[in-house]
Amino acid sequence: MSPAQPSQPPVSPLVRAALRVADLGRSRVFYGALGLTEVYFEGALDAEVAPALLGVHASARTRCAILKTPGQPNFGMVGLFQIDEPQPVARPGGSGGFQVGEAALVFYVADIDHALTTALLNGGARVSGPLHFVMPHRAQQEAMLRDPDGVLINLVERPPAESFGYDPVRIAR
C-alpha cells in the first residue's frame, strides 16, 4: 500500500510579484538590500511573444531579474522587468499612501528600524512609520515606503520564519 498523496490545490501560493522598473541595476540593489539576494532567473526575454504577453510595443527589449530570499522555496519572489521601448506608456507616479488598484509588497523583517534605514539608504522613500499597529489578534511595528520606482512596500516586524506557517488567524468572539 503506497502512502496517500497530498491533494493538489487549484492554485499555488503567490509565486512572485512582477514589477516594471526604470533601472534594473538600481532596483536589484534596492531589493538586495532588503535581503532578496538569490537570483532565480536573470536574462533577456527574447521570446517572440514576450512583447505581446507584456502588452508593450513589438520592438521592446526586456531584461529581467527574479530575486528571492536565499535558501528558501520558490515563492514570494520579486521579478524586476526593465522594458526598453520607443514610447513607454506613462503610469501615474506612486506617491503618498495606498491607492485604489495598487498592490503593496509585504515583507516580514526581524528588525524594522534596520530594514527601513537600509531601504531608505538604497533609494526608498518613506511613506509612514514605523508605527505600533494594534489589531485584535496581534500588535507589531509596521512601516510603509516606496521603492525607487514608486512601488508601495509594507515592512512588518515579525519573525521572517512566520511566513512559512500554515495556521490562519482566528479571532475569538
pLDDT digits (tens, 9 = 90+) for 18-71: 998 989 999 999 999 999 999 999 999 887 888 878 878 888 889 999 999 999
147 is a domain residue: yes
Q: What pLDDT is attached to residue 66? A: 93
Q: What is the rounded average pLDDT of the residues 150-159?
A: 89
In this model, does residue 91 exceed pLDDT 60? no
Rounded Cα distance between 33 and 155, Å, is: 13
CATH number reported for the structural domain that contains residue 116 in this entry: 3.10.180.10
The answer on 73 and 27 residing in a single domain is: yes
Last residue of a domain, one of 26, 52, 85: 85
Report how far apart, in Å, the C-alpha atoms of 75 and of each of 2, 99, 134 are.
29, 25, 28
- Containing domain of residue 123, as a range? 102-164+169-173
| % of the chain surpassing 70 pLDDT | 84
The answer on 60 and 113 residing in a single domain is: no
Q: What pLDDT is attached to residue 138? A: 79
Look at residues 104, 96, 122 and name the one whose alpha carbon lies nearest to residue 36: 122
Q: What pLDDT is attached to residue 2? A: 56
In this model, does residue 11 exceed pLDDT 60? yes
Query: pTM score, two decimals?
Result: 0.79
The answer on 66 and 38 residing in a single domain is: yes
Instruction: Quote the radius of gyration of the chain (alpha carbons, Å).
Output: 18
Q: What pLDDT is attached to residue 160? A: 84
The answer on 106 and 80 residing in a single domain is: no
**Total tally of structural domains belonging to the chain:** 2
Confidence tier at 162 by pLDDT (50, 70, 90): confident
Is residue 30 within a helix (H) or strand (E), and if so which, with residue range? Answer: helix 24-33
Last residue of a domain, one of 53, 85, 117: 85
Last residue of a domain, one of 85, 116, 145: 85
Can you list the positions of beta strands (E) in the chain? 16-20, 38-44, 61-68, 77-84, 104-109, 125-134, 139-146, 152-157
The answer on 21 and 75 residing in a single domain is: yes
